[in-house]
Amino acid sequence: MNSAFKWYLRIVGSLTANTLGIIDRYTPEHRKFLSSGFVCAGCHATLINSRLMADVKCYGQDGVEVPIWKARAKARYFVCPKCSHRWEPRRVHEKRVV
């Protein structure tokens, strides 16, 4: 991966972190992940796939893996596929009684 592309990712990531991130109540750790250009806080690998989506594993509330495109609605935590570093992308404020 060339450095210009990583630079581009940092721009996109920090824009996302500072706009959508505020609306979506991203955690500080997830904002850092975005604004660093999708760099894992654990192993410093750049986690991006060929479709320019975050190349992380997403898990839902019940511990079941969810597809990345459902992450916004369903993910409770992300896991780095390389070092298993785990973090929460969003604060969950609402506690609904099921």
User: Nearest to residue 17, comparing CAs of 45, 54, 55, 61?
Assistant: 54
Query: Of 19 and 29, which CB lies nearer to Zn ion in the complex structure?
Result: 29
Give the orientation angle of helix 3-18 with respect to helix 28-35, to 10 degrees: 150
Query: Of 18 and 84, which CB lies nearer to Zn ion in the complex structure?
Result: 84
Query: Of 40 and 75, which CB lies nearer to Zn ion in the complex structure?
Result: 40
Contact residues for Zn ion, defined by CB under 5 A: 40, 42-43, 80, 82-83, 85
CB of 96 to Zn ion, least distance (A): 32
Between CA 71 and CA 89 the distance in angstroms is 9
CB of 20 to Zn ion, least distance (A): 23
